[in-house]
Amino acid sequence: MAKSLLKTIPFEHIVCDDDRNYRKVYEEIDELAESIQAEGLLQPIGVSEVPNSKNEYYVEYGFRRYHAICNIREKFGTEAFSEIGVNVVTGTAQDLRQKNLRENLDRKSLRPHEISDAIKAMVNSGLEQRDIAARLGRPQSWVSYHYKVATKLNVSASKAFEAGHLTLEQALYIADVPEEEQTELVQSITVAETRNEARQIAKDASKKSGARRTYANKGRPTAKNLSQKIRDFSFDATSPGTSVNTRAFYNGVAAGMRIALGDVETDKVTPDEDYYDVNFAKAEEKPAKKVKEKSKRGRKKKVVSAEVSASA
């Protein structure tokens, strides 16, 4: 993971390569420049040392702040913000990219298609979706949705999504439809008179294709969804950097889910046992198993009764 060190450096030593940023559109730079000019740079820019250079640093996160300061220096001269505080971050290239993505996500400054492209790049780098979810502090379903949109849309649908003509939900429905049908579907959605009408068109097309979509925040969660959620908790709770209190909290959540699903009895729960891994198949077998065992006991009683009668 990336580590950081607070430091003050000359602004001219900073190298800005916008290709290193997941965010591609910078909005409200002038307003931000006015805020920085009035209040100072409240949040330091994240930088990393340029390999084989003398005191040069790449911007890793805080690109809007960098460009805002550039505007200030163009207006008032290079003496303005001649030195600034920065976080010098170190780590692998992948660590730094994740830091950039996490920073943008926390500030809610990324567009849906930028997030999808970032998730796709992380998967292509060899990371599992579960690992990405844990590193970004997001549900695995969230990662899965964005990855699907990044990989299942045809060129026409991708361009419409990138241009902001499609919502993430609409794009997910479109991703369920064969690629050769997506272009016509996109046209129907974009010319719809209302957003609800557009959503219904996309939803109907998804149903027609035979795909079934269930959103994590809608409807009652299934045992499969709960199982995945518990495994996500387990991944975080068992990591070396997790505190004892956090582990206990996750374990309590897992135990509560297992009780609700009938996988474990309330009076059998103990604080010294881990409940992260849930075998729902086993939980579903339990009722049948109990009936089977009960029937065996019933047959044994009948056999004993028959023997008693015979001896009498």
Neighbour-count burial for 54-92, b at 16+ CB within 10 Å, e otherwise: eeebbbbbbbbbbbbbbbbbeeeeeeebeebebbbbebe
Domains in the chain, number? 4
Are 146 and 71 found together in one domain? no
Find out whether 129 and 144 touch, Cβ atoms under 8 Å: yes
CA distance readout (Å), 290 to 52, 260, 278: 69, 18, 19
- Position 208 scores a pLDDT of 80
Tens of pLDDT, residues 128-154: 888 888 878 788 888 888 999 999 999
Question: Which is more confidently placed, 25 or 229?
Answer: 25
Query: Does residue 268 belong to any structural domain of this protein?
Result: yes
Q: What percent of the chain has pLDDT over 90?
A: 13
Q: Judge whether residue 217 has pLDDT over 60.
A: no
Q: Judge whether residue 156 has pLDDT over 60.
A: yes
Strand order, beta sheet including 45-49: 3-10, 83-90, 45-49, 57-61, 14-15
For the segment 173-198, the average pLDDT, to the nearest whole number, is 89
Q: What is the CATH number of the domain that holds 63?
A: 3.90.1530.10
Tens of pLDDT, residues 257-297: 767 766 677 777 777 777 655 444 443 444 444 444 444 55
Tens of pLDDT, residues 52-69: 887 899 988 888 889 999
Average pLDDT, the chain: 75
Neighbour-count burial for 9-43, b at 16+ CB within 10 Å, e otherwise: bebeebebeeebbbbeeeeeeeebbeebbeeebee
Are 168 and 92 found together in one domain? no
The DSSP bridge pattern shows strands 45-49 and 57-61 to be antiparallel
Query: Does residue 242 belong to any structural domain of this protein?
Result: yes
Query: Does residue 286 belong to any structural domain of this protein?
Result: yes
Query: Per DSSP, what are the bridge partners of residue 61?
Result: 46
Rounded to 5°, the CA angle 212-213-214 comes to 125
Q: Which of 155, 181, 208 is the last residue of a domain?
A: 208
Query: Does residue 216 belong to any structural domain of this protein?
Result: no
Query: Does residue 213 belong to any structural domain of this protein?
Result: no
Are 185 and 229 found together in one domain? no
- Position 81 scores a pLDDT of 92
Closest CA to 278 of 233, 215, 220, 240: 233
Find out whether 158 and 120 touch, Cβ atoms under 8 Å: no
- Position 191 scores a pLDDT of 87
Residue 257 three-state SS: helix
The residue whose two tokens read 């518990």 is: 230
CA distance readout (Å), 35 to 17, 47, 113: 24, 21, 28
Are 18 and 60 found together in one domain? yes
Q: Which of 148, 183, 208 is the last residue of a domain?
A: 208
> What is the C-alpha to C-alpha distance for residues 16 and 47, in angstroms, rounded to an integer?
9
Are 164 and 152 found together in one domain? yes
Count of beta carbons in the 10 Å neighbourhood of residue 262? 12
Q: Judge whether residue 9 has pLDDT over 60.
A: yes
Query: Does residue 60 belong to any structural domain of this protein?
Result: yes
Are 87 and 182 found together in one domain? no
How many angstroms from the chain centroid is the CA of residue 151? 16
Are 154 and 231 found together in one domain? no
The DSSP bridge pattern shows strands 83-90 and 14-15 to be unpaired
Domain that holds residue 185: 121-208
Question: Which is more confidently placed, 286 or 185?
Answer: 185
Among the ranges given (48-52, 110-114, 215-219, 250-254), the one the predictor scored with the smallest mean pLDDT: 215-219
Query: Does residue 31 belong to any structural domain of this protein?
Result: yes
Residue 51 pLDDT class (50, 70, 90 cuts): confident
Tens of pLDDT, residues 192-207: 888 888 888 988 888 8
Are 99 and 130 found together in one domain? no
> What is the C-alpha to C-alpha distance for residues 225 and 304, in angstroms, rounded to an integer?
47
Q: Judge whether residue 13 has pLDDT over 90.
A: yes
Are 146 and 63 found together in one domain? no
* Residue 5 CB burial class (10 angstroms; 0-12, 13-18, ≥19): exposed
Count of beta carbons in the 10 Å neighbourhood of residue 121? 15
Are 31 and 100 found together in one domain? yes
Are 15 and 97 found together in one domain? yes
Tens of pLDDT, residues 66-100: 999 999 999 999 899 999 988 888 877 777 777 77
For the segment 1-11, the average pLDDT, to the nearest whole number, is 77
Answer yes or no: pTM beyond 0.75.
Answer: no
- Position 299 scores a pLDDT of 54
Query: Does residue 53 belong to any structural domain of this protein?
Result: yes
> What is the C-alpha to C-alpha distance for residues 273 and 300, in angstroms, rounded to an integer?
35
Are 284 and 270 found together in one domain? no
